Amino acid sequence: MKKFLLIPVVATLLSCSTGSFAEAPAIDMGTPDGLVKSVTTDVLSIVRADSSIKAGDIERITQVVNQKILPYTDFARTTRLVMGRHWRTATPQQQQQIVEQFKMLLIRTYSGALSQVGNQEIRYQPLRAAPTDTDVVVRSTVINNGQPIELDYRMEKTAYGWRVYDLNVAGAWLVQTYQQQFNEQIQQHGIDGLITYLSQKNTPAAAAKSPS
């Protein structure tokens, strides 16, 4: 998955204000598409004005993910889906380590794309779901420099409201993108080997060498 395709995703998911967090408008928690639209609108307006995020400040980006983004995601489920059957063989401590390292891997891999955030236009398709549905896909198209990019969100209705657990960028779902990579590491080196692999990828030197 190319970084340029993830620009709208990163712009949507990794953002914060200069200094303290700006007062955000009320988030629409009632519907899945309403949640995506309101969070995206708030996030894009903030990141465009934040020079530290555009410069790729990892600490700032991590702070934002934890405070502004994770409340509306089920990243633990994302990680479970990526791990597949291997998730059940990991200890609770290993599971927690993998969740945290995987989150940091995504942040480090794609933080550089934030510098390219501009005036992307986002067009949402009507939500096709019944009122009783608890697992839906919110579909949208990002117009980036005249180029349309498909951007969809898989969402689940939980006891705490709607949560995003997978993303589709230009036909590539996030979970599928990493499943093979994780599976290969586990088959060759075990669960601890995967954790070591992710930890090494998350070192500053390794992140600097990450391909574009």
Burial 154-166 (b: 16+ CB within 10 A, else e): bbbbeeeebbbbb
Each residue's pLDDT tens digit, 7-26: 445 444 433 323 333 444 56
d(CA 102, CA 79): 7
Q: Is the pLDDT of residue 86 over 90?
A: yes
Q: Is the pLDDT of residue 165 over 90?
A: yes
Q: Strands (DSSP E) along the chain, which ranges?
A: 121-124, 135-144, 147-158, 161-169, 172-173
What is the reported pTM?
Answer: 0.78
Helix, strand and coil content of the chain, in percent to the nearest 5, comes to: 55, 20, 25
Each residue's pLDDT tens digit, 174-203: 999 999 999 999 999 999 999 999 999 998
Of 60-74, 79-93, 111-125, 182-196, where does mean pLDDT reach its minimum?
111-125
Average pLDDT over residues 97-104: 93
Q: Is the pLDDT of residue 126 over 90?
A: yes
Which residue's structure tokens are 């007062």? 23
Q: Is the pLDDT of residue 29 over 50?
A: yes
Of 12-21, 54-63, 105-114, where does mean pLDDT reach its minimum?
12-21
Q: Tally the C-alpha atoms within 13 A of residue 110's C-alpha that lie toward its C-beta.
A: 24
